[in-house]
């Protein structure tokens, strides 16, 4: 029971601090989850990729992390901890939106959150690169993918090409 509570409290903290979505917490999440020995670096990256792949919220990876940490109870605790603050916050915002939209501090707060969320997004990208790019070959692959997307190549094609390349290198 103690480990399940520890998982719940860790993910509750992530959920409370998830401005701009759960991925904004990725650097801290990686530090805590890997640091506690709940998953390895590779399992963290794989869990994140799986969470992005399956339908639903993009942070479904927390189920995998919680399951690795404390079994089925850990998976439920991680999901509850991660998603409860956002759900409560969304209900509160719907209730108070009319009042908040007129408040001067609310507009200032929204403006202040833009650079914060941009910095959190940049740190998320850095952590994902650190966890998943382990050679010059894959580093160049990431740069090539960014360039192709920038030049207008469909993201689906870039992802399919990366998957095919990963499959081929795994077979060699």
The pLDDT of residue 166 is above 80? yes
Q: What's the pLDDT tens digit per position in 20-46?
A: 677 778 899 999 999 999 999 999 999
pLDDT bin (cut points 50, 70, 90) of residue 14 is: very high
Residue corresponding to tokens 């952590």? 127
| Residue closest to 41 by CA, chosen among 18, 14, 68 | 68
- Whole-prediction pTM: 0.73
Q: What's the pLDDT tens digit per position in 70-128?
A: 999 999 999 999 999 989 988 888 888 777 777 888 888 888 888 988 888 888 888 88
How many angstroms separate the CA atoms of 55 and 103, rounded?
37
Other CB atoms within 10 Å distance of the CB of residue 57: 15
Q: Is residue 167 classed exposed, middle or buried when 0-12, 13-18 and 19+ CB atoms within 10 A define those classes?
A: exposed
pLDDT the model gives residue 20: 65
Which residues 6+ apart lie within 8 Å of 143 measured at CB?
none
């Amino acid at each position: 029971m103690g480990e399940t509570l520890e998982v719940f409290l860790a993910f509750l903290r992530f959920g409370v601090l998830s401005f701009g979505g759960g991925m904004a917490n990725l650097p801290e999440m990686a530090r805590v989850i890997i640091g506690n020995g709940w998953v390895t670096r590779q399992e963290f990256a794989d869990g994140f990729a799986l969470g992005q792949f399956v339908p639903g919220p993009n942070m479904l990876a927390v189920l995998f992390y919680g399951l690795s940490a404390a079994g089925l109870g850990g998976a439920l605790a991680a999901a509850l901890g991660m998603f409860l603050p956002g759900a409560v916050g969304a209900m509160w915002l719907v209730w108070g939106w009319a009042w908040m939209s007129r408040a001067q501090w609310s507009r200032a707060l929204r403006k202040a959150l833009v650079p914060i969320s941009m910095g959190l997004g940049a740190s998320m990208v850095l952590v994902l690169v650190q966890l998943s790019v382990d050679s010059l070959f894959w580093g160049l692959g990431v740069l090539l993918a960014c360039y192709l997307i920038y030049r207008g190549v469909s993201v689906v094609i870039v992802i399919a090409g990366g998957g095919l390349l990963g499959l081929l290198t795994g077979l060699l």
